Amino acid sequence: MRVLGVDPGLTRCGVGVVEGVPGRPLTMLGVGVVRTPVDAELGLRLVAIERGIEQWLDEHRPEFVAVERVFSQHNVRTVMGTAQASAVAMLCAARRGIPVALHTPSEVKAAVTGTGRADKAQVGTMVTRLLRLDAPPKPADAADALALAICHIWRAPAQNRLQQAVALHTAKATASKGRTA
């Protein structure tokens, strides 16, 4: 499974591609940051993020895109910028028919460190170990993007099985109601 992780942000949008399957060593295929100037017009910043993500999609051809789920923060401007960058990433993937998964920061931290309360340094350290890198990716947005990809690789199979079980249960319940009516 090849996953593009996206840590959305207007100034620095972390991107990282990881390939692998649960239970086997993972491989980093690329990591970086799509940057936009703080003083640029919002529309131009979003276009720059779109172009950057499109380049990553063209170059790495991921099967899935994992994006950090936007969560409420005290700074509304930060939340809005994060949400806008997140939407651009989802749009780019949707145009190509690539499934998108959203993961909360605590899900990602728990997947790579074992605790949903890990700090950025702990996440960077574990990403470095899991991908057998010489040093943690910089800036932290890049490491977070890789962590998102790792989280998706490890969680997707279990989530898919759960969704299939729920669908099967719902289908059986609907069929059962149809027979007794």
**Annotation marks residue 54 as catalytic:** no
Output the known binding site for Mg(2+): 7, 68, 141
The catalytic residue among 68, 107, 134, 144 is 68
* Entry field: residues in the chain: 181
The catalytic residue among 7, 41, 50, 63 is 7
The catalytic residue among 39, 59, 63, 141 is 141
Output the known binding site: 7, 68, 141
3-state secondary structure the chain: CEEEEEECCCCEEEEEEEECCCCCCCEEEEEEEEECCCCCCHHHHHHHHHHHHHHHHHHHCCCEEEEECCCCCCCHHHHHHHHHHHHHHHHHHHHCCCCEEEECHHHHHHHHHCCCCCCHHHHHHHHHHHCCCCCCCCCHHHHHHHHHHHHHHHHHHHHHHHHHHHHHHHHHHHHHHHHHC
**Annotation marks residue 119 as catalytic:** no
**Annotation marks residue 144 as catalytic:** no
Catalytic residues: 7, 68, 141
